[in-house]
Structure 1
């Protein structure tokens, strides 16, 4: 997160920041970190009445000195930005149109992207209060196609060779630089551009966007086989931190900054997801696909056609300025970002919960039936042989029904063998009607009699109708021999209950931290 210094601490308490596209994937993280740093934050959204899209913005930082102020503005509505930037010292422009599929007309993306950035910049100049604008561009504006070369902030792609989305990001950034360059001296405002590559990490927003599409597809096993493709990636929280630091970093003014941590193959991301989620019911693809098969599919599938030029190629992005200028020197581990992103997609409803889903902290989530006890799910659990989970509730149920977990059964094997001889004698003397009642009322009695606990046996003996006098005598002898064992069992149960209560408090706190 953003680290306060004496200089920017003073700036924070007097500076207002407008974040455009505040409800988006990156925008939500930027708003959160600005609030944590003490800034007064405005967030622009397209529709204030869409509670589903804006509700989360009000709870991103409960301890913030200032509540986020939401304003309504649209990229192509110039007047809406005049009131949005009013009273602000800085603007972070993350808003940009994004496609869920390739549009038929590329201008549907390019026009609002270019007009949006120029409308925001014009409003900033007219405000007389905005000093600096931080523009979120993209790695695609550095290298539109991942063609397997090393690139830096000096590189620009050829717009004519780009797909509509990459072209919209490239032309919007060019429009911003051209606009600032043509300003008169008395109108000058500072411009900083950030170029994040593919972002990974937890999703705070409630709406779908292109950034989360890859991990969503892998969890849903789409595609079934993995192409040999490589992606440059960065944690969204590191990208957000870079935006906050770009507001007050003097050396950042007038420059582009690549935001990239490392490169990952699709197969590496899939392996991370499979290790975490396979036991939770998500069959993440892990097998590759031959290039020849992709070439054949490219005849009728656009995705396959786009994959061929970048097949088995690694494009390295120079992140020197991110480290040396913006001081993002210890980026988060990408493995953690992938796992946290996947959990947030499931928790947020972007990906369907499986019946085996346990949750971010190992909770046994019952997607169909809901939680098990008083609205909470007990977490004193361990894996069974079949990959399911044994909870504290399972143990209590086992004691009541006479069933045991594998571990408990092994521990009691010795005791059960000692009891078999005495038990055989008593069973032989039991009356036939009583035996028939047991078979009809308890389908497991024929197979699990030896595995029953002492308490269950005592309950069975009480339920019998007029048991033989010899059986009563033998049961009485057994009861006298086991007072210590019964006391130890009660103490163990009491200890287990206390342990579950403590674990529940710890995990509840962990859940709160994770959700923030």
Structure 2
């Protein structure tokens, strides 16, 4: 598949996602006890990456924009069953500034660059998203290269893989790239351009530092507190009965714990160097199926969850006055099939089912009193 932004088939070479793949169990490299930098430590996925790195014996340093967030991160880790103690340290750094990044990467063997802007609504100027996503990624990569970090794992998105193309029954894979000239949203464009910039930079200037990329779909799973991924709000809205019916949306689902596990596997496995990995529990599912899963598994707790399907015209009408609905309207009825076969085959990744991920999301929201 080819788009105006370039060919989607990747070619082998330094810093470029390759296509020649070995088959066999993942090798985690025996890297326990090294220091790992996780950017954006207060984020939903980043917190789980920190927790799993600590559980595997690594020391972890993480960045926050506000030093007051240290207490929140430690509280969320405790809720996840991890007592971080002195194995976790904090550095104040922002993706829009060079300040703090030299200190952040100093002495680190690995970097998980998880931090990325995700707006609740579409910005007026797409560069409000594109510039910080691209320049922030390059800022982290330069600092990592200069510190001779072994490998950086960048959290990209399926948004950089399967958008801007005509509908097809063929599943999207890591060899595909979103066509940024295909009428995509600013967020999707920002993720695509940031990831392309990362591969280009590493090919030209990466030195001895390796790059791997994880491309998650919608991230769900148990929340630890009020801060969580934007995708979690879909489950909360269903539980609260905020919608009279379910829009005809389809997307991939992955549990946050499995997405974090894939980051750690991509960090240390020799087979992950120079590769991208789609992170999804399976093929795309419908929001209607998610609603039925909640009804079927939660019983009375899901009594407000709608099971009727909203007419497309009703959604488009709402999008005329509600900017938050425009993304929904643009994707009505679109099914982007996908596969995470590469991660399963090369890294031995075995994610939970999408049904289990969505159920865990709902149960945690209810348990923490985050629903009405």
Where on the TM-score scale, by shorter chain, does this alignment land: which range? 0.7 to 0.9
Given that residues 122 and 323 in structure 2 are in contact (C-alpha distance below 8 angstroms), is that contact kept between their aligned partners in structure 1?
Answer: no
CA deviation after TM superposition for structure 1 residue 102, in Å: 1.4
2:155 is equivalent to residue 133 of structure 1: no
Question: After the TM superposition, which residues 54-453 of structure 1 pair with which residues of structure 2 at under 5 Å, given as runs?
Answer: 54-57=73-76, 59=78, 60-62=80-82, 67-128=87-148, 130-144=149-163, 148-149=167-168, 150-160=171-181, 161-183=183-205, 187-262=207-282, 263-277=284-298, 279-280=300-301, 282-302=303-323, 305-328=326-349, 330-352=350-372
**Residue 49 of structure 2, aligned match among 30, 36, 43:** 30
Q: String of CA shifts for 1:7-61, please: whole Å, max 9, x gaps.
A: 7474212x11001112111111111111111111112111121356323255245
Aligned partners of 2:255 and 2:352 also within 8 Å: yes
TM-score, normalised to structure 1, is 0.62
Tell me how far 1:274 sits from its aligned partner: 2.4
**Counterpart for residue 40 of structure 1:** 59
8 A Cα contact 2:27 2:268, kept in partner: no
| More helix, by proportion | 1
Give the whole-Å Cα distance in 1 for the aligned partners of 2:353 and 2:219. Answer: 13
Check the 8 A contact 1:20/1:93 in 2, yes or no. Answer: yes
Aligned-residue offset at 1:140: 0.3
Deviations 1:426-458 (A, max 9, x none): xxxxxxxxxxxxxxxxxxxxxxxxxxxxxxxxx
Contact 1:226 1:289 in 2 (8 A): yes
How many Å separate the matches in 2 of 1:6 and 1:220?
42
Distance 2:246 2:358 in 1: 17
Deviation digits for residues 288-347 of structure 1, max 9, x if unmatched?
12234334445444455544553333211121211111211x321222211211122233
Mapping 1:458-469, distance limit 5 Å: none
Structure 2: distance between partners of 1:292 and 1:58? 44
Deviations 1:365-417 (A, max 9, x none): xxxxxxxxxxxxxxxxxxxxxxxxxxxxxxxxxxxxxxxxxxxxxxxxxxxxx
Partners of 1:198 and 1:232 within 8 A in 2: yes
Query: What is the DSSP-based 3-state SS (H/G/I as helix, E as strand, rest coil) of the residue aligned with 1:104?
Result: coil
Unaligned runs of 5+ in 2: 1-24
Residues 57, 68 of structure 1: 8 Å contact kept: no
Shifted more, 244-253 versus 52-61: the winner is 52-61
Q: Secondary structure at the match of 1:17?
A: strand
Does 336-345 or 240-249 show the bigger shift? 336-345
Call closer, same or farther: CA 1:281–1:178 in 2, change over 3 Å.
Answer: closer
RMSD: 2.5
